[in-house]
Amino acid sequence: MTDESLSYEQARTELATVVERLEQGGSSLEESLALWERGEKLADICQNWLDGARERIDAARAARAESD
């Protein structure tokens, strides 16, 4: 599965796992950096989903206001 096809829930779940692994510590610097980078990518995916949801809500509200 590519990052672009991850659902919000999938990205959020994986992000939580990444954060947990980082918080546990014990990883090498290289592994920690890779986890951090993955976490940043997953956070961006989640934010894109949330931004898209906000746009849809705003569009629905605008359409409703126009029809009233």
Rg of the chain over all Cα atoms, to the nearest angstrom? 17
**Number of structural domains, the chain?**
1
- Whether 15 is in a domain gets the answer yes
What pLDDT score does 36 carry?
Answer: 98
pLDDT of the residue at 51: 98
CATH number of domain containing 40: 1.10.287
Can you give the pLDDT at residue 55? 97
Domain-located, residue 2:
no
Let me know if residue 36 belongs to a domain. yes
Question: Which pLDDT score, from 0 to 100, does residue 13 have?
Answer: 98
Model confidence, pTM: 0.86
Measured CA to CA in angstroms, residue 38 lies from 5, 28, 33, 55, 57 at distances of 15, 15, 9, 26, 29
Is 1 part of any domain?
no
Q: What is the mean pLDDT of residues 7-13?
A: 98
The domain containing residue 14 runs over which residues? 7-67
Q: Is residue 57 part of a domain?
A: yes
Share of the chain above pLDDT 70, in %: 100
In a domain, 18, yes or no: yes
- Structure tokens given for 22: 């980082």
Q: Is the pLDDT of residue 67 over 80?
A: yes
Specify if 38 maps to a domain: yes
